[in-house]
Amino acid sequence: MKEFELKYGCNPNQKPAKIFMNNGKELPIKVLNGRPGYINFLDAFNGWQLVKELKEATGLPAATSFKHVSPAGAAVGLPLSDTLAKIYWVDDLGELSPLACAYARARGADRMSSFGDFIALSDVCDVSTANIIKREVSDGVIAPGYEPEALEILCAKKKGNYNVIEIDPSYVPEPIEHKDVFGITFEQGRNELAINNELLQNVVTANKDIPESAKRDLLITLITLKYTQSNSVCYAKDGQAIGIGAGQQSRVHCTRLAGSKADNWLLRQSPKVLGLQFVDTIGRADRDNAIDNYIGDEYMDVLAEGAWQKVFKVKPEVFTAEEKREWLSQMDGIALGSDAFFPFSDNIERAKKSGVKYIAQPGGSVRDDAVIECCDKYGMAMAFTGIRLFHH
């Protein structure tokens, strides 16, 4: 297949639309089911690059959940704790494969943002992973292959219209890439930078100790940022992104946005949230919305008379600001990556509130000394990578 015709571009009025190779070669994909759209393919191709690099960097199966050309979550296939299995709504599925664990983590990092996602998988999609995808609201998936039964499960989704793309894992793009904007062609070399532990060797803080698990998490943040619309900041813990702040003009707004998402992930594991009793008829998406409101500033709306009975079997207790701060104060060992340098120490102060202990950022700000001093105040370890990861 040398080209694939699309219904329209980003919006229905943008016609005609298609994808094709400028060199006249065959496309490195097969559309096995459905009819993916313009944004679907943007998410699919960015997501595939992300999981391919995660697998290469960690040796573990990887998955990402993409929405509007930025990842909502990304993870590698580490086993799930009982708590994580519960908050990701997969505790009823029995033992999960490593790839299924990776997608459960990627989807579960920010379930509200992942609603209607496009999925990328580093490995052949197995039945365990397909069974998770089957029950979530999603637009499609890209993977290097599919087990026959897994493909059958996926092709039955969305009344047979679910988008399933198979990509040739051996495909290597041209070293120069092009992009048209306003009728003008931009040309640049592809970002082929290999992200590995060598980027974490220049530890500039008094605390030089970054354990292997934290190095893995820092690599996850950096690879995730490589395919996230800039400016961007990513928090990670235990093999997965837990908060991604994308497309903000201010660095500290990235840090705050990603930090608020990381806080939600942490608060979902608190006894108050784990003890919520939902009515039997409520779906996962409505549960996610209720939890988000319960954790956030809208919790009084959730607990209002006539409202809570639609969601909960028993009226929940108020989750006070003091209780949330106390729970979050126990958090530690979280990794944070930034796609460009931190210009002010306010980013470190915000990161500390979400339990950040390890940081990777390019360095190079005129205020590097102030940022390092702030890290030293909290005993954080920070590596200067010397590389920027802008993505547009």
Question: Do 234 and 244 touch, CB atoms closer than 8 A?
Answer: yes
pLDDT of residue 378: 97
The CA distance from 255 to 271, in Å, is 26
The CA distance from 377 to 195, in Å, is 28
Mean pLDDT of 191-203: 96
Mean pLDDT of 5-32: 94
Answer yes or no: is pLDDT of 371 > 90. yes
Among 105, 154, 110, 102, smallest CA distance to 131 is for: 154
Answer yes or no: is pLDDT of 297 > 80. no
Mean pLDDT of 302-308: 75
Answer yes or no: is pLDDT of 301 > 90. no
Comparing 228-237, 304-313, 347-356, which segment has the lowest mean pLDDT?
304-313
Comparing 65-69, 210-214, 302-306, 377-381, which segment has the lowest mean pLDDT?
302-306
Q: Which residues contact 309 (CB under 8 A, 6 or more apart)?
A: 315
Answer yes or no: is pLDDT of 1 > 90. no
User: Measured on CA atoms in the order 101, 329, 354, 72, is the torsion positive or negative?
Assistant: positive
Tokens representing 361 are 């950022």
336 bridge partner residues: 235, 359
Contacts 24+ apart (CB under 8 A), 192-200: 193/226, 193/387, 193/389, 195/53, 195/57, 195/219, 195/222, 195/223, 195/226, 196/57, 199/360, 199/383, 199/385, 199/386, 199/387, 200/360, 200/383, 200/385
The CA distance from 276 to 258, in Å, is 25
Structural domains present in the chain = 3-172 (3.40.140.20), 194-267+329-384 (3.40.140.20), 276-318 (1.10.287)
The CA distance from 64 to 105, in Å, is 9
Question: Do 260 and 243 touch, CB atoms closer than 8 A?
Answer: yes
Answer yes or no: is pLDDT of 26 > 90. yes
The share of the chain scoring above pLDDT 70, in percent, equals: 99
Measured from the Cβ of residue 182, the count of other Cβ atoms closer than 10 Å reads: 4
pLDDT of residue 249: 95
Answer yes or no: is pLDDT of 195 > 80. yes
| pLDDT grade for 52, boundaries at 50, 70 and 90 | very high
Torsion angle of the four alpha carbons 29, 134, 105, 196, in this order, in degrees rounded to the nearest 10: -10
The CA distance from 355 to 238, in Å, is 13
Among 106, 87, 20, 132, smallest CA distance to 288 is for: 87
Answer yes or no: is pLDDT of 240 > 90. yes
pLDDT of residue 9: 96
Active site residues: 67-68, 231, 392
Question: Do 261 and 243 touch, CB atoms closer than 8 A?
Answer: yes
Instruction: Specify the pairing of strand 70-76 against strand 62-67.
Output: antiparallel
pLDDT of residue 27: 96
The CA distance from 183 to 80, in Å, is 48
pLDDT of residue 23: 83
The CA radius of gyration of the chain, in Å to the nearest whole number, is 21
pLDDT of residue 310: 85
| pLDDT grade for 308, boundaries at 50, 70 and 90 | confident
Question: Which letter does DSSP use for residue 164 in this model?
Answer: E
